Structure 1
Amino acid sequence: MSVQLTTAPDPARSGVGAVTVSTWRVGTPARQRAAAEAVSRVWRGRAWPDAGLLSYSVAIGEDGDTLLNYAQWSGAEVYERFAAASRDERVAEIDAAVPGIERVGLGRYERHRSLPRTPGDERVAGCVAIIEVEFEADAEGASRGEGREGREGWVEAVLDALATDPAPAPGLISAHFHLGTDGTRALNYAEWESAAAYDDALSAPGDGVGSPTEKWRRVLTYPGMRHNAVSRYTPAISLSAG
């Protein structure tokens, strides 16, 4: 199979059974660009590894240091097959082009719910905000996948706050909520028109991108939520089978 190159994935595409998300630290904006180019070159120079890998995308962090890796799979077993048979040779070639990449963990997720783009909205996302939320769970409970009810409740609370916001942020294109398979994490992949549009939403009244309503306050103080963090990226490349 050949390789098709675009700029960004479709987080709501059908057939996705598993999502992996990881961060690379590379140190400088120049190395960010070089690493993204190396990924594109290495992957396009080889046959697509597995029909079950639906897309592999890289976005460049606004911090001048990180890269976001976001991959969609038809199922978790496809990732395991890729990791065993095809991952190492690609990593070695990328590392030869950009030595010293620090790979910071790998999160495994299932996409749970989406706030899709409005029909007819053809805006291209210029900014992706990744909101990572960690919920309370002991090690035994997490290993059994417990904690899902609390995370699902938080997602519903966010969707409710968005739907009832009296002054919704016009720059938000879509939001896609994922639940970590470890039982403790949730991730929102939010597409924004631009970084400036996201900044405008932050500068409006309220704590974060939402209006100062009770429903947004519930989101921010949801029971069991231990930690949340926001990182911002610019879409760079998205690869899929041609």
Structure 2
Amino acid sequence: MTRRTDAHPVLDRPDVRAPLFSTWRVGTPERQRLTVDAIARTWERRPWPADGLLGYHVYTGHDGSTLLHHSQWTSEQAFDGFVKVHRQERVDEIDTAVPGIERVGLDRYRRYRSGTRENGTAPVPGCVVIVDIEFESPDPGRQRAWVDAVFEALESDPEQHPGGISAHFHLSTDGTRVLNYAEWQSAQAHIEALAAPGEGIGSATAAWRRVQNWPGLKSSTVARYDHALGLVPR
């Protein structure tokens, strides 16, 4: 069966070999709430659909319009099997409850590196920040090198903001994107970190300038979310 949980997902669990992320646009905060409720009803009234699905989490965007979806799979084959058998009936029921949802797209990733503050027990995240990096063309080596450069910049940063909890870097399987799923103590802590000297998170150091001006870097977007729904097998 399907069980609801308030717990955030564990991003670095080793049995997750196919993390998927997608975004829906629903338009308003009220429709965000209605859509989350519809997802919960649709899933809770059905058996858990696949052994290969370890967890499914939904987040409401602070823009008042978007929903982020994160599902943790043991393999892409397990996800493809779910799509063939179980996905459409769930989509249809949700669309009946909340017509007009725009599904922006779904991307397949592999987690590459994670970093967590070494300060004892990590607090429950008050905010999830998604940083989406796009490069001009596919290049798996460039994906990894850019993430490695971010870790070098973090390790040498003299003024790391204390509100950051963790960062989990994922590489898209098509070689064009990097997604950082970052956990923060609060949205305000992230806002304050962005307002500090420098461009974005990080001090005005040469290491951070190298990250921000990486060859082939096409775009970088940042969005804040609240964890709204977790679904796991019983």
TM-score after normalising by structure 2: 0.96
Q: 1:164, 1:54 → 2: CA distance?
A: 36
Which letter maps to 2:129? A
Stretches of structure 1 lacking an aligned partner (at least 5 in a row)? none
Matches within 5 A, 1:9-158: 9-118=9-118, 120-137=120-137, 142=138, 147-158=139-150
User: Does the Cα contact within 8 Å between 1:6 and 1:238 map onto a contact in 2?
Assistant: yes
**174, 186, 196: which is aligned to 1:194?**
186
Q: 1:127, 1:4 → 2: CA distance?
A: 19
Q: 1:127, 1:162 → 2: CA distance?
A: 20
Q: 2:187, 2:2 → 1: CA distance?
A: 33
Q: 1:64, 1:200 → 2: CA distance?
A: 21
User: What's the secondary structure of 2:129's corresponding residue?
Assistant: strand
Q: 1:119 to 1:15 in 2, by over 3 A?
A: farther
Shift of 1:8: 2.2
User: Does the Cα contact within 8 Å between 2:159 and 2:203 map onto a contact in 1?
Assistant: yes
Count of residue correspondences: 234
User: What's the secondary structure of 2:143's corresponding residue?
Assistant: helix
Q: 1:39, 1:10 → 2: CA distance?
A: 21
| Superposition misfits of 4+ residues, deviation over 4 angstroms | none
TM-score after normalising by structure 1: 0.93
- 1:2-25 CA distances to partner (integer Å, 9 max, x unpaired)? 424224211112201111111101
Q: 2:102, 2:208 → 1: CA distance?
A: 36
User: What's the secondary structure of 1:36's corresponding residue?
Assistant: helix
User: What's the secondary structure of 1:83's corresponding residue?
Assistant: helix
User: Does the Cα contact within 8 Å between 2:2 and 2:43 map onto a contact in 1?
Assistant: no
- 1:132-189 CA distances to partner (integer Å, 9 max, x unpaired)? 111122xxxx4xxxx1111100000111111111010111100000000111111111
Stretches of structure 2 lacking an aligned partner (at least 5 in a row)? none
**147, 166, 190: which is aligned to 2:158?**
166
